[in-house]
Amino acid sequence: MKIGIPRALLYYRFDTLWRTFFQELGFETVLSPVTDKTILDEGSRYSIDENCLSSKLFFGHIAVLEGKCDAVFVPRIANYGKEGIMCTRFEALYDTAVNTFRDKDLKFITCDVDLQEKKTEEAAFTSLGIELGCSREKSLGAYRAAKTADRNSQEKKIRYQEQQLEKEGIKILIVGHSYNLHDEYIGRPIIKNLYNLNAIPLLADAVDLDWARREYTAICKDVPWMVNRELVGAIHQYRDKIDGLILLTAFPCGPDSMLNEMIIRRVKGLPILNLLLDSQDGNAGIETRLESFVDIIRFRKEAHI
Ligand code: SF4
């Protein structure tokens, strides 16, 4: 059985976990290609206008998996208990995908993570393995191996970021969801652009996430969403080591629009650029804004010498 994984949304957080889990169980995984204009257009065609850009991309990635796999993996993730809730889109994603592609040659598999209802991640993946015909023992073993691989992968990201931090130059923390930061079509061009402007981009998802979820309250106390807690925690970790902040948001995002307002009000003394990405944006406008932002930081630094 070939399992399709859309290269979008939570794939960028759980890529190692998901792929290792299926590989440990002996299944082949097929990843959709990197985002391009065709995938974005397809995603927009299958989405309602109110969907955020990131979820439009997700539907485009499902569409390109048609005919390439036996089933597409779309987990339902509601919350991680006291660690916080997920955006409601992740809870609805499986049902929306099944409904949207009901006339297509696409099957879906899912698992249900909802700690408030006592459905842990471990239980969710173990049940999925059993549904796919594996024993409980093998499924649990696959999940545990995947979890270890996931931790190692996050530690590698953190080590790389620590090396970046050691370098001389203008350092800018980009605060955005992993699926926006790392998408080749929407986030990566921004990272590349900063390098071209001789700035050093740091990424808010390359931190100790457990630490970030504990310490985010130093900036904002009431943040219900787990991932936004981590993003605010990352700002707290880096605020004294960076020269500027970029808030990278996909339009229209409820959690980010609330949080960004709070961040702008509470993080004083750092230049902040608020970048809102939508499907209409060309890169030229963004490049100009990044250039001006880096210039402002450079002038500020020179003025303080
Ligand atoms: S958090 Fe924002 S960008 Fe992410 S899926 Fe929800 S609405 Fe979209």
Q: Give the per-residue pLDDT at 146.
A: 98
Residues 17 and 127 in one domain: yes
Residues 125 and 179 in one domain: no
Mutational pocket test of ligand 1: of 256, 257, 258, the residue with most ligand atoms within 8 Å of the beta carbon:
256
And the tokens for 149? 């691989």
Domains held by the chain: number: 2
Q: Give the per-residue pLDDT at 279.
A: 75
Residue numbers of the domain that contains 184: 167-303
CATH number, domain of 222, equals: 3.40.50.11900
Q: Give the per-residue pLDDT at 305.
A: 64
- 154 within some domain: no
Residues 94 and 207 in one domain: no
Find the residues whose C-beta lies inside 6 A of ligand 1. Answer: 52, 54-55, 87, 89, 177, 250, 253-256
Residues 36 and 7 in one domain: yes
Ligand 1 mean position to 54 CA, how many Å? 7
Residues 138 and 183 in one domain: no
What's 174-213 look like in SS3?
EECCHHHHCCCCCCHHHHHHHHHCCEEEEECCCCCHHHHH
Could you report the average pLDDT of every consecutive run of 10 residues in the chain (305 residues)? 97 98 98 96 93 96 98 98 97 97 97 98 98 98 98 98 96 98 96 97 98 96 96 97 97 95 95 90 81 96 78
Token pair 């960004």: residue: 260
Task: Choose among 141, 129, 137, 60: nearest CA to 100.
Answer: 60
Residues 30 and 129 in one domain: yes
- 162 within some domain: no
- Residues 264 and 215: their CA atoms lie apart, in Å, by 18
E strand or H helix at 295, and its extent? helix 283-303
The amino acid sitting at 288 is T
Residues 50 and 119 in one domain: yes
- State which of 84, 117, 149 marks the end of a domain: 149
